[in-house]
Structures are given as C-alpha cells and as structure tokens.
C-alpha cells in the first residue's frame, strides 16, 4: 500500500502568516497544492492527515473552517483519514465534521489502527489493537492521535500507559507507528524501541514537507520525503502563470503571484494572459464568437488590454516576463494587435478551438490533418512556444491520434517554437514529448496557473521527463528564459 502523510495544517489566521512568510490563507493554498501533488505525482492508495487542523478553535467560524478543509480534502483521488491533534481532540467542533473512528481501516491488505495515547482510553486502545490483529496476518500501522507522547511520559501514569500500549503493539505483531512531528519523535527511544517510528513534519512551515510510505503485507516499510517547493538548485521557470485579468482566475494577484513563485523555489515566471479575454467580454469569449470573429470583431467597449498592461508592468523585471497566451481565430490568425504584441516579451500560441474536431460529418483522420494544417498556419506568425498542444482534444474527451505527434513536432521545429508541457486540466501524452526531444524541439514547463496553489507546481512535469528516460541537464532541453 502506498500511503501519503501530511501533518499540522493549522488553518486560519495567525501563525500561518508568520510561519510561512505568505499572506493569510496560506494553509488553504498549501493544502490544495499538496493534494495536486498527491493526485498528479504520487497517486497514493490513501492519505493520512494528522492535526492540528485549525490554528484556533476559539473563533465563531471554527465549524465553517473545518468544513472548508473537508471540501478541499474531497478533491483527493483516493480515500483519506483525518487524525486529530492535541487541539483537535479537545474540540467538539472537530468531531462534528470528522467523526471518531471506533475500530480500524483496511486498505490494500494493510490495517491502520488509531491509538489515542490518553491514559483514560488505555483499555479501549488495547482492545482496538487486538481487534485489528484478529484473524488478520497482514501489516498493521498505528496512527497516534491526541496528546504528545512527551507529555504522557512526564508522569508515572503516562509512563505506565506508554509501556502497556507498547507491549500490546508487540504482542499483536505491530511494528509501524505513524504520527505528527508533535506527537512522536526520535528523542524518546525508550518508548519507540522496537517500533518503526515515522513522524511527519509540519506542512505549514518551510519547506512544506510531506511523506510517502510503501507498506507491504509483511510490514516492510519504505519512507520517501517530498517538499512542495521546487528544488531551488534546478532554477526552474514557470512559463505560464495567469493574472487576475483571467476570467477563470480563482485568486490570482500580481503581487501574490511574485511572492508565491519565490516561496515555491522558482527562479522566475512568465506573467501571461489570454489575449482574447482582453478584447472580448466573458460571454463572447466563451461562446465561440471570439474565435469566429477574431480581432476585427472585438467591441472596443469590452477592451481591457491597456488596463492589463498598466496593472502588470510594475511587477515585470529580470525574473518576471510579460506576455500573452495568444488565442487564434477560425482562420488561424492571432487575436492580438501589433501595439500589444510589441510590449510583450513572451508569446504563447494557444489553440482553444478547432471546429472540425467536433463535426460528425468530418472523419477523425480529416480532422487530424486539418489540425496540423491549422497549427502550421498559426505558428507561422511567430511564437516562443505552443501552449498545451492537444488541449482541444482533451476538451472534447478525445485522445489525439499518435500519428500526428511527429508531424506536429516537425512543425514546431520548422517554426522554431517550443512545446509546452502542461498538466493544468489533462495529462499530456508523454509519447509526443519524447518525439519532441528526438526532433530537437525545445520544451517549456508551464503550470497554467489560475490559482495561486498551482504556481511553479512543476513536479508532474519533472516526473514525466524522468518517465521518458531523460535524466540529464535540463538546460539541454528547455527553452532559455533569458534569451529574449
């Protein structure tokens, strides 16, 4: 069983601001990012979340805060278990949202058994351990909740409780103990002797860590650590970060974009915006009128280009470049005027609509050939990279035919345009990017961020590069951020 672990969310105002160096609300952003990492990269069978969940339960909206965290956790693509921390265990609000588990969980041949380490619950803890082992020969891991072990060991009663719990674990063949960094730590070997203790450090403090465990049925356990920021040594650039001007922006902000990019280990990023959205109102952009009418059909009263440039310019510098995700019209022409283009240092080609793909009268082969022709014409206008090359297929819930991978890569090489690796709404085909490398086409890594939590989340990109066999110097295959 592959098990993900995070700990100490501490959602709410207060410590989260000082501990992370980020603005208020950072716990929610970090949670979203951790969940994306689990879903896209690690893909565990289950995730355990250790408390404390909230920074402060003495607030009127404690229930609402817990419900918000519950909604975030619902985005995990696997089962999850929430274990109370010290504050959580004493809070009635916590148990209204995350009910107490009476026995144990069983997943992939491994049982996970909660133990409170509270002297008043000693007998029920021992009974639970016995129940977990009953008629079961597989591995069992104990999940510690509630008070710190160090506090329990400070008095004679606590020492007796710890000794009896340890004896019960041994009697029942249980050798794995999981806990938050505050509940168990390697400084207490007299309690931990004979156990494979796995503490998880706090998610709400740098470097925002998480752990991934692989536990087999025999109880063998390997532990790997991960951190939410990108390794600073890689000097990665996110070529695709949106602004508050995006109609699909969730919480983007020019200043916060910069702060979060730095906090997440980026060397720099491109501040892009959908060009069509700066000429068209939301309805006309989304209903296809923008694509059919093009730049000439835009109503000046809906224009926001000057406002965007004015708002963005104070935040542009050596490590933040200004540009556009340039929409195409139905004739494969850019929806971007010359004046705006001259003010940009990055231009990303973006094909968001290609009508023949959705027309039943056109065969898939004909549509694919037309798609290549459309890209050839559009790319001839000159771009730094082609954003999410097969997004139009994904939006129609179709897979792009592999036969067009190499022809498209050759078109990119012909037009001296890089290919963007982008995981925002779909998983790109690794075979295409393998072909790009074979053809000598440069790549860019883009998060396509519409939420702060996505900025610089390039772990899926690096994982895909490893999966296609690339383990060399990224500078050999990535477009140079400083060239232009």
Average pLDDT value for the chain: 90
* pLDDT at residue 234, rounded to an integer: 97
Q: In percent, how much of the chain has pLDDT > 90?
A: 75
* pLDDT at residue 186, rounded to an integer: 43
Q: Where are the domains of the chain?
A: 2-226, 232-476
- In this structure, the number of other CB atoms found within 10 A of the CB of residue 110 comes to 23
Superfamily of domain 232-476: Metal-dependent hydrolases (3.20.20.140)
Q: For residue 159, what pLDDT band results from cuts at 50, 70 and 90? A: low
Among residues 25, 29, 34, the alpha carbon closest in space to that of 7 is found at 34
Q: For residue 121, what pLDDT band results from cuts at 50, 70 and 90? A: confident
| 8 Å CB contact between 254 and 244 | yes
Q: For residue 158, what pLDDT band results from cuts at 50, 70 and 90? A: low
* pLDDT at residue 181, rounded to an integer: 62
Q: In percent, how much of the chain has pLDDT > 70?
A: 91
Separation CA 297–CA 447 (nearest Å) = 30
Cross-strand pairs, 200? 180
152 vs 308 pLDDT, higher one: 308
> How would DSSP label each residue in 10-63?
-BSSSHHHHHHSSPTTHHHHHHHHHHHHIIIII--SEEEEES--BS-SSSTTHH
Task: Determine phi and psi for 271, rounding to 5 degrees.
Answer: -90, 100
Q: Which residues contact 261 (CB under 8 A, 6 or more apart)?
A: 238, 241, 268, 269, 320, 455, 456
Query: pLDDT (tens digit, 9 = 90+) per residue, 279-328?
Result: 999 999 999 999 999 999 999 999 999 999 999 999 999 999 999 999 99
pLDDT at 455 over 80: yes
Q: For residue 15, what pLDDT band results from cuts at 50, 70 and 90? A: very low
71 vs 155 pLDDT, higher one: 71
Lowest mean pLDDT among 56-65, 191-200, 386-395: 191-200
Among residues 460, 377, 472, 368, the alpha carbon closest in space to that of 420 is found at 460
Among residues 272, 117, 276, 285, the alpha carbon closest in space to that of 192 is found at 117
pLDDT at 188 over 50: no
Q: For residue 368, what pLDDT band results from cuts at 50, 70 and 90? A: very high
* pLDDT at residue 200, rounded to an integer: 85
* pLDDT at residue 101, rounded to an integer: 75
Q: For residue 182, what pLDDT band results from cuts at 50, 70 and 90? A: low
Cis? peptide before 207, omega within 30° of 0: yes
Mean pLDDT over 59-79 rounds to 95
Could you say which of 3.50.50.60, 3.40.50.720, 3.60.21.10, 3.40.50.20 is the CATH number of the domain covering 2-226?
3.60.21.10
Query: pLDDT (tens digit, 9 = 90+) per residue, 326-365?
Result: 999 999 999 999 999 999 999 999 999 999 998 888 899 9
* pLDDT at residue 129, rounded to an integer: 95
Q: What is the DSSP letter of 317?
A: B
146 vs 95 pLDDT, higher one: 95
Query: pLDDT (tens digit, 9 = 90+) per residue, 226-248?
Result: 999 999 999 999 999 999 999 99
Query: pLDDT (tens digit, 9 = 90+) per residue, 403-437?
Result: 999 999 999 999 999 999 999 999 999 999 999 99
* pLDDT at residue 136, rounded to an integer: 95
Separation CA 40–CA 36 (nearest Å) = 6
pLDDT at 212 over 90: yes
């Amino acid at each position: 069983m592959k098990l993900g672990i995070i700990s100490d969310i501490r959602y709410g105002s207060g410590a989260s601001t000082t501990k992370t160096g980020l603005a208020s609300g950072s716990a929610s952003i970090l949670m979203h990012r951790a969940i994306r990492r689990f879903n896209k990269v690690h893909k565990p069978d289950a995730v355990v979340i250790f408390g404390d969940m909230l920074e402060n339960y003495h607030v009127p909206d404690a229930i609402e805060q817990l419900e918000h965290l519950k909604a975030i956790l619902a985005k995990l693509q696997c089962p999850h278990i929430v274990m109370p921390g010290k504050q959580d265990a004493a809070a009635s609000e916590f148990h209204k949202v995350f009910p107490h588990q009476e026995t144990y969980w069983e997943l992939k041949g491994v049982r996970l058994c909660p133990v409170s380490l509270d002297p008043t619950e000693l007998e029920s803890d021992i009974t639970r351990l016995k129940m977990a082992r009953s008629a079961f020969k597989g591995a069992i891991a104990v999940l510690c909740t509630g008070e710190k072990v160090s506090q329990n060991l400070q008095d004679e009663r606590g020492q007796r409780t710890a000794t009896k719990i340890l004896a019960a674990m041994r009697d029942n063949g249980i050798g794995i103990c999981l806990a938050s960094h505050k509940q168990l730590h390697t400084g207490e070997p007299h309690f931990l002797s004979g156990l494979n203790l796995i503490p998880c450090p706090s998610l709400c403090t740098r470097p925002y860590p998480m752990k991934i465990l692989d536990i087999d049925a025999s109880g063998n356990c390997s532990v790997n650590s991960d951190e939410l920021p990108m390794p600073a040594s890689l000097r990665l650039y996110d070529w695709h970060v949106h602004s508050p001007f995006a109609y699909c922006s969730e919480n983007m902000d020019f200043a916060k974009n910069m702060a979060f990019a730095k906090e997440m280990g980026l060397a720099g990023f491109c501040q892009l915006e959908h060009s069509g959205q700066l000429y068209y109102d939301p309805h006309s952009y989304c209903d296809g009128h923008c694509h059919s009418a093009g730049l000439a059909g835009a109503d000046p009263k809906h224009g926001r280009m000057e406002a965007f440039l004015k708002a963005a310019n104070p935040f542009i510098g050596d490590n933040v470049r200004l540009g556009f995700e340039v929409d195409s019209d139905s004739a494969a022409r850019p929806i971007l005027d010359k004046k705006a283009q001259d003010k940009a240092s990055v231009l990303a080609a973006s094909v968001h609509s290609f009508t023949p793909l959705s027309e039943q009268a056109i065969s898939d082969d004909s549509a694919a050939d037309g798609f290549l022709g459309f890209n050839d014409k559009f790319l001839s206008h000159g771009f730094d990279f082609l954003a999410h090359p097969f997004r139009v297929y994904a939006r129609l819930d179709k897979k792009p035919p592999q036969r067009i991978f190499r022809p498209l890569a050759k078109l990119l090489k012909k037009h001296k345009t890089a290919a963007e690796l982008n995981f925002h709404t779909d998983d790109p085909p690794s075979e295409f990017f393998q072909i790009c490398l074979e053809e000598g086409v440069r790549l860019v890594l883009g998060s396509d961020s519409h939420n702060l939590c996505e900025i610089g989340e390039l772990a899926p990109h690096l994982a895909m590069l490893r999966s296609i066999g690339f383990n060399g110097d990224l500078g050999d295959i990535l477009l140079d951020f400083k060239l232009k």
